[in-house]
Amino acid sequence: MADGQTSHVEAPPGGSGFGQSLDRVTLERARHGEMAAFAAIYERFSGACYTLALRVLGEASGAEDIVQEVFLKMFATIRGFRGDAPFGAWLKRLTANATIDVLRSRQRYREDDVEALFESIPAASADAEDRVDAWSLLQRLPPRARAVVVLHEVEGYTHKELGDLFGQSESYSKSILARALKRLGDEEGVDAGEHDDE
């Protein structure tokens, strides 16, 4: 969907895939630096990392960079993973942090100005060619709003956690989510020809 190399797969029952478990033997082998164990971890979780990054960034090359960065970091730090939280949750945090860092590096508007955030990408006009599906709706949001929607609505982050991730307040995250969902609702209506563009 995002490019010629990316393959779209059926969603597993466990959501985006971070909820999958990792057996202790593979984890221990990875801690000892076995590449075969890393390969097994990549096989299991790379899709989840890539999907999260692609949903937020909206471009395959940026998402691949995130996956690469996350797995290189995982290689370097897995010895310090104590297993207090599930492995997938740890990897999700690495992925979310890396993705937010990329968003921050690309920031062109005042970070604390929610209005400016949404003005940076005006609401799309109705286009008969557009597919009205969750993906195309999501991609009409500004990247930071996509991040809030994906992390909150799909990955289960709280507004407090999102506020911390962005270096902002909890209400900042709530405000972005409310605006994002409003726009998603409005645009779906526009595409469906139900009411005017906002």
Partner 1 sequence: MPESMTMNEFGGRFDPTRLPEFRPDPALWARIVARQQQRVARRHWQVTGVLGVAMTAAFAVVLVSPGLRRVTPDGGKHGAAQEQSRALEREWSSLASSRGANAGTTHLRAIDAQLQAAYDRGAGVEEISPLWQRRNRALRGLIDDLRNGVADRGDGITQI
Residues in contact with partner 1 by CB under 8 A are 1-2, 5-12, 16-17, 35, 39, 42, 46-47, 50-51, 54-55, 60, 63-64, 67-68, 71-72, 75, 133-135, 137-138, 149-150, 152-154, 156, 177-178, 181-182, 184-186, 188-189
Nearest residue (CB) to partner 1, 13 versus 108: 13
Nearest residue (CB) to partner 1, 98 versus 150: 150
The structure tokens listed for 15 are: 């959501």
Q: What three-state secondary structure class fits 82? A: coil
The distance of closest approach from Cβ of residue 108 to partner 1 in the complex, given in angstroms and rounded to an integer, is 25
Residue 42 identity (one-letter amino acid): Y
Provide the 10 A C-beta neighbour count for residue 156. Answer: 13
Long-range contacts of 27-36 (CB under 8 A, 24+ apart): 27/78, 27/81, 27/83, 27/87, 30/78, 31/78, 31/79, 31/81
Nearest residue (CB) to partner 1, 87 versus 187: 187
Nearest residue (CB) to partner 1, 84 versus 179: 179
Nearest residue (CB) to partner 1, 1 versus 110: 1
The distance of closest approach from Cβ of residue 120 to partner 1 in the complex, given in angstroms and rounded to an integer, is 20
Report the sign of the C-alpha dihedral through residues 153, 154, 156, 161, in that order. negative
The distance of closest approach from Cβ of residue 73 to partner 1 in the complex, given in angstroms and rounded to an integer, is 11
- Does residue 152 contact residue 179 with C-beta atoms inside 8 Å? no
The distance of closest approach from Cβ of residue 189 to partner 1 in the complex, given in angstroms and rounded to an integer, is 7
Q: Find the largest Cα–Cα distance for the chain.
A: 59
The distance of closest approach from Cβ of residue 174 to partner 1 in the complex, given in angstroms and rounded to an integer, is 9
CA atoms of 179 and 198, how far apart (whole Å): 12
